[in-house]
Structure 1
Amino acid sequence: MELGSTPRRVSSMSGGTRWKPLGPWMPWMAAALMCAVLLSAALILRRSALESSTLVVRGMATVMMNAGLEAFREGTGVPSQQQLDAFLEAHREGGLRYVAIFDDGRVVESAGEGSVGEYQEGLVMRIEGGRGRVIHRLRKQKPDVVAAPANGSPPVAEPGAAVAPDGRRNLRIGYEFEPVTALELKERSQGLLVVAVVSCVGILILAFAFSRLLAQREALAMELERGRRLAALGTMSAVLAHELRNPLASLKGHAQLLAERVEKDEVLRPKADRIVGEAVRLEQLTNDLLAFVRSGELRRTGTDPNEVLRAAVESTGEAHVEAHYLPERERWELDAGRFQQALENVLRNAVQVSPEGRRVEVDVVREGASLVFVVKDHGPGIPKGDEERIFEPFVTGRLRGVGLGLAITRRIVELHGGSISARTRAEGGAEFRLIVPARGG
């Protein structure tokens, strides 16, 4: 795979159009729609409950006014404390908590605990602190006479009593009541809103879990599809390599004999060498195909990672690669030969895309319980979105090549229980990371 160019598909084993899942984002859309409907319904109910509670408070105020007028319409003076206590007890279940009689803006008699707030003239209804308050005129009545002067002057009203133009006092009555029904409506609507919010949280949690399941299912489906394609490619490659190997060996041998016979012929020798070179290239292709379909069984032995890397660097060409090794000798359970092949594939690609005179850098380091090989080249990097696709078989950007090198590398690394990844570095070039965990880790 040549980095920096658009990968081309050399061969494709799948045909037709395959249905693709809608993706793990669908549960989020469904959850958002459900939450929107649920919260909208809860808010509408909440608003209706608040409006209804206001109507209930006004209705209770009207009931209190009518009850007060009915209870105290008889009599000529200020209702007594006993009368107010009896009125309070009679209407306590209805929510009444406090009743007071006003004369000239002053409370002259009261029953219960509470307050009607700041005194105001006229009919006043309001809601403060979760309670309803109302003040209205009780009745107009004659002022209480204290005494008649000895000189025959007119009777004198109680000191401080408000006297209407017609000579009667203006009394007012105020109530403070607890609108139980209205408060229940508010509490229930608030409870419904809380339930809606909690339900939305639960729906979002379920959507998250469902989306994770869908993502895992989609990843598993992709892995199964990849395995199916690899199996089909492996069967085809094995048959093709087997059928080509013997004819190629014969062709290569006769071409080499022919090249030796015409060694002194300046016209025929280049042509014979060309035949030998092409035969060698086809032989390498068959070897790659056989390596691709090779059994997954590994022959692990205690191996020094430095020796594996050193052998891969020597095979690639020490003049083109700058290697950094582990500071101490270590033993890792590796199939040395096959892992060396994986490293060589990556190093050769890196050397091919790097400019002349720029050496490829390769490091082997310990990261926790894993062994990591890092290869950095100085080429154009990896096209965006192709970080995974370059490891697929028969994907290449070179005119000469079948795109099996990185596919073989990934297979070898995965057989060791590890992983391989690629990215474009910020400073330029590509970086490959081959991660191998400790056996059993």
Structure 2
Amino acid sequence: MRGNIVSLIALAAGVILSLLLGWFAVGNYRSARPIAEGNLRGLALSLTSALESIAARDSSLASLAAFRARDIAYISVIDRNGTIVFHSNADLIGSRVTDQRYVTVLGGRGLAENRIRLGTGEEVYEYHAPLHLPGRTLALRLALHPWRADAVIHRARVGMVVLFSLLAAAWTMGVLLYRYARRAQEHRLEMVRRERLAQLGEMGAVLAHEVRNPLSGIKGYAQLLMERSNDDENREFSALIVTEAIRLESLVSDLLAYARPEPGPEGPLQVNAVIDHVLALVDPEARAAGVTIAASLAEGLATRGNEARLEQLILNLAKNGIQAMPDGGTLTVVTRREGKTVEISVADHGHGIAPHDRERIFTPFFTTKARGSGLGLAVCRKIAEAHGGSISVADNPGGGTVFRVTLPLHR
């Protein structure tokens, strides 16, 4: 429980940190373009001031040709008639512009800026500003290379992509590490469980051997006393002793069955033949309890295993199902093929198993019955695992419980 809480806190912290980093990266990228445009505008204002100062000292504008800056794509000065009176390309001086972008600044409506694409395919930042000279006002068209300014946008974009890539890699690595840690923990828990059950089985075997002999003597003497006694009350007490001794013998047998090493899979078995035999064994008990047995068995299902042990597995499940329906009902047994496995399901319509009991239902000595040993389902799990399979429990959609056993399919 504590580990789950720590995991949830770590997950929440990771999600919050990732959202904050993502918000920072996106915000930085979205603010990069206004910053780049601001840098270009500031550079254009500085250059415009310098060019206006040069032009004020030279009305012919010829000295503008000597003005050099690596960010300048070209400089053009246009009069009110649209004639180019100066251009960085001297061949264009005297020609007329074909656009009306310069009109805005000569009309006294402030500055104008935009990005245009030149005939060479290059995109430039174009800035229009009035050029105030003695006795006249001209339009200055200044085209700047946006390389350095756009580098801000590029760096922000690359930073965002790198950050999101790192976040994706970190989450992928985190998920893989979490899955590895979970598997390692499950493996450790399984090893601890098996070691504990092995110790429990050894202890149970010792106790069973020590108890079986004196128990047989107690039962034998009680039976002898019951036969020879002329007192009805003594015979009744003797019968009770015999009944309880038989119950203890059954518990001892269960302990020995659980402690006994499970034989590995032996030869091929027809699953349906094993089930038919078990159902024939429990049919009298089912009839006495008012339970109807319904079987739906798929044909041609075989597995490798020990026939006696698999019969014990199915017998335990069938008896549990019958005992779970004291007022009668239907015990449903189904076999089917699931990929490379054989699935055997045994379903009853009893009261079901509480969700909090399902995790412990296969633990030795855990039982919900008043007089149960708590070893039947533990033995079932041991047999299933010894045959390379598994057993699980779930709610029956029609009410009650369904146990599912999966075994490797033999072809």
Normalising by structure 2, we get a TM-score of 0.83
Alpha-carbon distance change, 401 to 355 in structure 1, aligned in 2, over 3 angstroms: closer
Does residue 283 (structure 1) correspond to residue 267 (structure 2)? The answer is no
Q: After superposition, what is the alpha-carbon deviation per residue over 1:2-60, rounded to whole angstroms, capped at 9, x for unaligned?
A: xxxxxxxxxxxxxxxx9857676576456435534543553465466456434422321
Does residue 311 (structure 1) correspond to residue 277 (structure 2)? The answer is yes
List alignment gaps of at least 5 residues for structure 1: 1-17, 142-167
Match of 1:124 in 2: 111
Does residue 172 (structure 1) correspond to residue 143 (structure 2)? The answer is no
Q: After superposition, what is the alpha-carbon deviation per residue over 1:98-120, rounded to whole angstroms, capped at 9, x for unaligned?
A: 5341316x354464799784632
Does residue 421 (structure 1) correspond to residue 392 (structure 2)? The answer is yes
Aligned positions of 1:401-420 closer than 5 A: 401-420=372-391
Amino acid of the structure 1 residue aligned with 2:56: R
Alpha-carbon distance change, 24 to 313 in structure 1, aligned in 2, over 3 angstroms: farther
Preserved contact between residue 387 and residue 421 of structure 1 (Cα < 8 Å): no
SS of 2:314 mapped into structure 1: helix
Alpha-carbon distance change, 25 to 205 in structure 1, aligned in 2, over 3 angstroms: farther
Match of 2:305 in 1: 334
Shift of 1:220: 1.0
Q: Which of 156, 162, 168 is equivalent to 1:189? A: 156
The structure whose Rg is larger is: 1
Aligned positions of 1:377-396 closer than 5 A: 377-396=348-367
Shift of 1:348: 1.2
Q: After superposition, what is the alpha-carbon deviation per residue over 1:296-322, rounded to whole angstroms, capped at 9, x for unaligned?
A: 223623333223212322332353351
Preserved contact between residue 390 and residue 407 of structure 2 (Cα < 8 Å): yes
What is the distance in 2 between the residues matched to 1:70 and 1:138? 10
Normalising by structure 1, we get a TM-score of 0.78
Preserved contact between residue 391 and residue 407 of structure 1 (Cα < 8 Å): yes
Preserved contact between residue 23 and residue 214 of structure 1 (Cα < 8 Å): no
Moved more, 20-29 or 335-344: 20-29
Amino acid of the structure 2 residue aligned with 1:119: V
Question: Which has the larger helix fraction?
Answer: 2
Q: After superposition, what is the alpha-carbon deviation per residue over 1:254-289, rounded to whole angstroms, capped at 9, x for unaligned?
A: 122222224x65333322211111000000000111
Identical amino acids, percent of aligned pairs:
30
Moved more, 51-60 or 245-254: 51-60
What is the distance in 2 between the residues matched to 1:102 and 1:95? 21
SS of 1:396 mapped into structure 2: coil
Q: After superposition, what is the alpha-carbon deviation per residue over 1:406-440, rounded to whole angstroms, capped at 9, x for unaligned?
A: 1110110110000111100232111111111135x
Match of 2:317 in 1: 346
What is the distance in 1 between the residues matched to 2:4 and 2:298? 49
Does residue 437 (structure 1) correspond to residue 403 (structure 2)? The answer is no
Shift of 1:355: 4.3
Match of 2:71 in 1: 94
Preserved contact between residue 31 and residue 207 of structure 1 (Cα < 8 Å): no
Preserved contact between residue 53 and residue 185 of structure 1 (Cα < 8 Å): yes
What is the distance in 1 between the residues matched to 2:137 and 2:299? 106
Higher relative contact order (CA 8 A, sep 6+): 1
What is the distance in 1 between the residues matched to 2:26 and 2:343? 56
Preserved contact between residue 24 and residue 211 of structure 1 (Cα < 8 Å): no
Match of 2:223 in 1: 256
Moved more, 370-379 or 95-104: 95-104
SS of 2:377 mapped into structure 1: helix
Amino acid of the structure 2 residue aligned with 1:345: N
Root-mean-square deviation (CA), in Å?
Answer: 3.1
Alpha-carbon distance change, 385 to 110 in structure 1, aligned in 2, over 3 angstroms: farther
List alignment gaps of at least 5 residues for structure 2: 117-122
Shift of 1:293: 0.8
Alpha-carbon distance change, 107 to 406 in structure 1, aligned in 2, over 3 angstroms: farther
| Paired residues, number | 389
Q: Which of 29, 35, 57 is equivalent to 2:18? A: 35
Match of 2:132 in 1: 139
What is the distance in 1 between the residues matched to 2:313 and 2:193? 20
What is the distance in 1 between the residues matched to 2:387 and 2:373? 24
Amino acid of the structure 1 residue aligned with 2:55: F
Does residue 241 (structure 1) correspond to residue 213 (structure 2)? The answer is no
What is the distance in 1 between the residues matched to 2:32 and 2:336? 68
Amino acid of the structure 2 residue aligned with 1:338: R
Alpha-carbon distance change, 119 to 391 in structure 1, aligned in 2, over 3 angstroms: farther
Amino acid of the structure 1 residue aligned with 2:104: Q
Alpha-carbon distance change, 254 to 176 in structure 1, aligned in 2, over 3 angstroms: same
What is the distance in 2 between the residues matched to 1:128 and 1:234? 84
Match of 1:58 in 2: 41
Shift of 1:227: 1.3
Alpha-carbon distance change, 274 to 281 in structure 1, aligned in 2, over 3 angstroms: same
Match of 2:119 in 1: none
Shift of 1:241: 0.8
Q: After superposition, what is the alpha-carbon deviation per residue over 1:217-264, rounded to whole angstroms, capped at 9, x for unaligned?
A: 1211211221122122112211211111101111111122222224x6
Does residue 397 (structure 1) correspond to residue 368 (structure 2)? The answer is yes
